Amino acid sequence: MIRAKTLLLFFCALLAAGPVAAQKLYKYVDEQGRVRYTDRPPIDMAGRASDQLNRQGTVIKHNPAALTPEEVAAQEAERKRKTEADAAAREERRKNMALLATYPSMADLDDAHARALANNTDAKKQVETRIVELKKRQEKLQQEAEFYKNKPLPAQLKGSMFELESDLKAQSELLAAKNGEVDLINARFAEDKRRYLELTKGGSPGKTASSATTQTR
């Protein structure tokens, strides 16, 4: 009862003070849990939740409490997660559109797969041929080095042997990489085929591409 009378007197005082003061009426809860009314934000209200009231005592605006460090961190983490998810979705749409634009049909995708494997095979043959040539040169240099048993090798011969060994090592590593590419090529095209079938679903790739374009706008 006393609080109601106090509130009534407070409103009357604000009304008597004029409309400007009445527009700045705030209601908040202080550190002791007491409901307080004021015409200007006091120091102890900083960071606390408050309500702005009109002349009739009706809440016209709610000012939420300041976020805690944990809440700020949680909001930032959620913002980052959403940003990354949106970027991933855009990239997925871009890849899908590129796939449909590159391959008009599944037959075209199969042909591209076959060409990729054929190019890899040709590249491996070239490396293998290079290795055979290097090994032949290596045998000749080793035969030449036989004349210098128990003697220092000429600088030019020694340098040639070192360069040849380095080249052989590089070509061997390249051949191993080309052999490993076969599995990568097969895996990549298997994924492309899976996505292609999922996107077309037995329908027209052109219609699917148009739909994907509309979704990105």
Is residue 15 within 8 A of residue 34, CB to CB? The reply is no
The ranges assigned to domains in the chain are 2-63, 73-216
Q: Which of 32, 64, 59, 33 is nearest to 47 (CA)?
A: 64
pLDDT band, very low/low/confident/very high, at 17 (cuts 50, 70, 90)? very low
Q: How many CB atoms lie within 10 A of CB 28?
A: 19
99-136 pLDDT per residue, tens: 999 999 999 999 999 999 999 999 999 999 999 999 99
129-160 pLDDT per residue, tens: 999 999 999 999 999 998 888 889 899 999 99
Residues in the chain: 217
d(CA 17, CA 11) in angstroms, rounded, equals: 10
176-194 pLDDT per residue, tens: 999 999 999 999 999 999 9
pLDDT band, very low/low/confident/very high, at 212 (cuts 50, 70, 90)? very low
d(CA 195, CA 143) in angstroms, rounded, equals: 57
pTM tops 0.75: no
pLDDT at 24: 65
> Residue 3: is its pLDDT beyond 70?
no
d(CA 147, CA 168) in angstroms, rounded, equals: 23
> Residue 16: is its pLDDT beyond 70?
no
